[in-house]
Amino acid sequence: MGSASATSNAPGEYAAERLAQAGERPDLLERQATHVLALAETAELHLRGPEQAAWLERLEQEHENLRAALRWCVEHGRVEQGLRLGASLWRFWHIRGHLTEGREHLAAVLALARVGMLAGSRTAALAGVLNGAGVLALRQSDITAARSLLEESLAIRRDLGDRREIANTLGNLGIVARGQGDRVRSRALYEETLAMRRALGDPWGIAMSHQNLAEEAHDQGEFGLERSLLGECLAIRRELGDWRGVAMALNGLGVVAQDQGDYALAGSLLEEGLAMSRRLQDTQLIALALGNLGKVAQQQGNVVLARSLYEQSLGISRQVRDRRGIAIALGHVGVLLRHQGDYALARFLLEESLAMMRELGSRWGIAVALHNLGEVADCQGDPALAQALHLESLARARELGDRQLAASALDSLAGAAASQGHA
């Protein structure tokens, strides 16, 4: 994946504690903060390309210095410098799972900007911080905050006329809409974004739009379209050397193969994506791939391996406070326990998953959890409860336009009705 080619000195030379000593050698502190900003902005340019693994590691090694520089900017009112640092670092925090810390740093910089900048002083760096803060909030399923931050970023980027960044923020707002269950809005935003990126000749952006539209196709059960979109996405990302993007596309293709019953292919694609994600130490993609590999193992009858993979995925999501990831992993374990006949524990975990999805306002997550709880109720000999749960899940799936989930709910509903008829 390449190696960092920066010419700056070894990590740690600009010691973090020196940045914290505001009263000692202001000129030295200024130079150190300037050095850290230059490093962060150089690294940010490489986080989508073939040297991303090396630059992620470089930032990890310099993380204490980066933290100290951000604190120094806030304490000394260096608004634009702090904004540029935050705008350069949010992607690193996102990939490496420093979600809570990253949101705290960006909130501090934004608070400084709102106090210290003149009204109407809306810069690209401010828009970048707002966009980054929105993405981190979205990753932790704080949908309300994410939408507010991203809409503010979009307004600034529209004022500045930066079409590439406008497209990026529109794409992120599409993910917000999907998380809220508004599939009409999410698809419209994805298609608008794709058109802009094609006009700009932005291959990285085109690949991201294909990834987003592939997820929409998956929900509609349009596996041929999904595979085509992901295949184009994968080819672009391999050519760019965007290994994180490659891992995302491989994971998506693995899920398509899994849904179509080709478990050997699914396992191969997911393992390749997992290995790449581990080299990047990308917490989100590692947790996602582990969960999907757990489903493949379960479908092949290896319940011991499946449970281990689910629990690893759950542990990572808990570590980075990814609440949606936690809820999904709890659902996976609950389904596995149902198949093993441990209905009481399965029901407990699925109810916990449902409660979290309700708290997050995840309409899709609620529909899935209701469906899984209906399956448990049927196994426990309560067809009336099972029927009620499947009816609610079916209604929600239809509202979302999720044909795949609606079909599953209909099948389960028929089974529950048959059980009730024979009671």
> Is it true that 1-161 and 162-229 share their CATH fold?
yes
pLDDT of residue 32: 82
Average pLDDT in the 45-53 region?
94
pLDDT score for 6: 42
Q: Where are the domains of the chain?
A: 1-161, 162-229, 322-423
Residue 117 in this model has a pLDDT that exceeds 90: no
Summarize pLDDT for 213-261 with one digit per residue, the tens.
Answer: 999 888 778 889 999 999 999 999 999 999 999 999 999 999 999 989 9
DSSP 13: S
Architecture of the domain spanning 162-229 = Alpha Horseshoe (1.25)
Give tens-digit pLDDT for 272-308: 999 999 999 999 999 999 999 999 999 999 999 999 9
What's the DSSP call for residue 118? P
Give pTM, 2 decimals: 0.85
* Number of Cβ within a 10 Å radius of residue 45: 11
SS3 assignment, position 107: helix
Looking at residues 50-78, what average pLDDT do you find? 93
Quote helix, strand, coil % in the chain, to nearest 5. 80, 0, 20
**Among 109, 62, 116, 114, CA closest to 86:** 109
Please provide the average confidence, as pLDDT, over all residues in the chain. 89
Asked if residue 24 has pLDDT above 90, the reply is: no
pLDDT at 409: 80
Query: What gap in Å lies between CA 404 and CA 261, rounded to an integer?
Result: 15
CB 283 within 8 A of CB 318: no
Domain 322-423 has CATH 3.30.470.20: no
**Segment 378-407, tens digit of pLDDT:** 999 998 899 999 899 889 888 877 787 888
| pLDDT for 5 beyond 50 | no
Mean pLDDT of the region 15-36: 64
Q: What is the pLDDT of residue 136?
A: 96
Supply the CATH classification number for the domain 1-161.
1.25.40.10
- 19 pLDDT more than 60: no
pLDDT of residue 421: 54
Q: Say what the pLDDT of residue 26 is.
A: 62
**DSSP-assigned letter for residue 164:** H
pLDDT in tens, 120-131: 478 999 999 999
